[in-house]
Structure 1
Amino acid sequence: MSTPPKEQSAPSPSKGAVSTPDKWPSRDLFRDSVTLVVGKSKKAYTLHKGLLCFYSDYFRAAFNGSFKEAAERKIELSDVEEEVFEFFQLWLYTRRLNLFDTTFSMLAKLWIFGDQHQMPLLQNCSIDTMLLKRIKQNTFAPNVLRVAYANTLAGSPLRRAAIDIASSLVIQDHANSMLRADFEEEWSVESLIDLVRVIESRDKALPQYSLPKRDECYYHVHGKDEQCPK
C-alpha cells in the first residue's frame, strides 16, 4: 500500500500527536531512524522515527502501519519545499522557531506543513511565533493572506491569525498598512469579508494597532478536552 493521501482539511483536533508544550519526548524515541526524501531534488534526510511519530499522526500511521514506508523505513515528500523541511527539522529537535530568522511567510508554510502532516504542536508554535513577531516588529507580510486562503479551509487557525494581524494594520496612512495599493493582489473576496467581520467585532476601546483580545488557545489545534497549561 502507498502513503495515505494528504488532503486539505478543516482544522481538526489531534488524534494523538502532542499538541501542548508541557509534553516532551522520552529518550526511547531517539533510537530508530528513518529516511525522508524531500522535494523535487529528492534530498534525503535521516530523522528519528519515534520523534516524528510523537509529534505527527501522519508519520505514525505511515511508519507503523501496513504501508510500504513502514517496511522500507523511508517516505517521499515530493511536494514539500526543502527550505520548509529544514526549518521543520530544526524545530523537531529544538521546539523553537527563531523570531528573527523565520519570516512570516515561512511560519505560514510551516503551519500548512503541520496541517498536512497532522502535527498540532508545530502548528501552534508557528502561530504563536507569528503573533509574537507581529507584536515585536509591528509589521506583517501580506502574502501570508494569499498563502493562508489558498491552502486552508474556512475557519482555520492560520486564517484567523492572519486576519486578526491584518486588522491591526489597516490604517491607510500607516507605512505598513495592509490596505496599500501594492498589496491588492494578496487579498481575495473571502479574506476581505473576513477582515470586515473582524473589524466590526473589535473592541472599540482597544488601540487601533492592537491585536483583538482572544482566548489563549483561540489559534491552536488541540485534541478533545486539551488546552495549553496556564
Structure 2
Amino acid sequence: MATNGPDTKATKPTSNTRPSLKRKLNEYLKSSDTVEIFVGPELTKWTLNEELLCDRIPYFKAAFKNGFKESKDKKLELPDDNPEVFGHLVEWLYMQQVGCTVCEDFVNRPSRKEEENPNHVLPWARLWVLADKLGCEELMSWAEKKFTYCMGRVKFGVSPEVISFVFEKTLETSSLRISFTRTFVHLFFQSSSYPDTFGEAAAANKTFNAEFLKEIKAHVGEKKEYCFIYGCTLHEADD
C-alpha cells in the first residue's frame, strides 16, 4: 500500500524553488505516467499526471524524483489532510484556478444566507496551510487572494473556527495571518454596524484579539491623509 511520503520535511519555499508550469498543459497530458495520492483518514485516491504534479509542487518532486520508495511505487499517502481541500489543489493544478461556488457562481447564484456562511472562507485557509506544507508558494499566494476576497464578501460573518484555525496553524510572520488581520481591520472601519457574532469572533483567539486591537489603535492614530481604507467611517466622518 502507499507510504506516508518522504522523510524530509517540507519547508517554506524561496524564490529559487517557486514552481512554474514549464510546459503547456496539453504537453503534460500526452504522458501516461501517473502517480496515486491517497488523502484523508479514508485515503481518498487521486490519480494525477506525474510530471505536472512534480513540476508545480516541490514536495511531490522530492517524493517521486529523488529516489524515495515513492519513486518506485508511484504512491503516496497524506492521511492527515482534508480530501475536499486537496480537491481544490487538484483543480488548481490542472486549471490554474478554482472558482468559489458561493461568491463567483453568477449563473447559479446562491442565497445571501449561504454567501454569508461564517465558514465560507475556511477552505481557502486550509488550502493555504496545505500549500505551505507542500512548499508551493504559487498556490499559497493564490489561496490567500481567494481567502481575502471571500472574507470581504462575508463581512464579519467569519466564524471563531476560522480565526482559531488561522492563528493556530500559521506562524506569527505568515502572510495569511497578516492579511487576515488587516482585512478584518478594513472591514471594521468600513462598517457602521456589526452582526451579533462580531464580539464572539474577535474573542476567539487571544493572539488575534491582541493583534486586532493593536491595528485598531494604530489606525485611530493615523492622520486622515494617510488613511488607506476606502470608505473609512473614522476618517471620512470628518468630511
Tell me if TM exceeds 0.5: yes
Aligned to 2:93: 92
Q: Could you tell me whether the CA contact under 8 Å between 2:17 and 2:58 is conserved in 1?
A: yes
- Picking from 151, 162, 170, the partner of 1:144 is 162
- State the SS of the aligned residue for 2:188: coil
- Picking from 198, 216, 221, the partner of 2:215 is 198
TM-score by length of 2: 0.73
Q: Which amino acid aligns with 1:208?
A: C
Find out whether 1:70 has 2:87 as its counterpart.
no
* Shift in Å, 1:184: 5.0
Within 5 A, what are the aligned runs for 1:71-220?
71-101=72-102, 103-142=120-159, 143-170=161-188, 174-176=193-195, 180-183=198-201, 186-188=204-206, 190-202=207-219, 204=224, 205=227, 206=229, 207-208=231-232
- State the SS of the aligned residue for 1:197: helix
Post-superposition Cα deviations, 1:67-122, rounded to whole Å, max 9, x if no partner, equal: 11111111111111111111221121112121344831000000001000011111
Matches of 1:45 and 1:5 in 2, distance apart? 22
Matches of 1:107 and 1:176 in 2, distance apart? 23
Residues 129 and 86 from structure 1, CA distance in 2 versus in 1: closer, same or farther, beyond 3 angstroms?
same
Post-superposition Cα deviations, 1:151-206, rounded to whole Å, max 9, x if no partner, equal: 1111101101111111123369623487x333255222x22222233334445433
Which stretch has the larger CA shift, 201-210 or 53-62?
A: 201-210
- State the SS of the aligned residue for 2:232: coil
Q: Could you tell me whether the CA contact under 8 Å between 1:38 and 1:82 is conserved in 2?
A: yes
TM-score by length of 1: 0.75
Q: Which amino acid aligns with 1:96?
A: Q
**RMSD of aligned alpha carbons:** 2.9
Aligned to 2:61: 60
Matches of 2:44 and 2:88 in 1, distance apart? 15
Aligned length: 203
- State the SS of the aligned residue for 1:170: helix
* Shift in Å, 1:29: 3.0
Post-superposition Cα deviations, 1:10-48, rounded to whole Å, max 9, x if no partner, equal: x552442326xxx56434433221000111111211011
Larger gyration radius, structure 1 or structure 2: 2
Aligned to 1:29: 28
Residues 112 and 177 from structure 1, CA distance in 2 versus in 1: closer, same or farther, beyond 3 angstroms?
farther
Residues 135 and 184 from structure 1, CA distance in 2 versus in 1: closer, same or farther, beyond 3 angstroms?
closer
Residues 176 and 69 from structure 1, CA distance in 2 versus in 1: closer, same or farther, beyond 3 angstroms?
farther
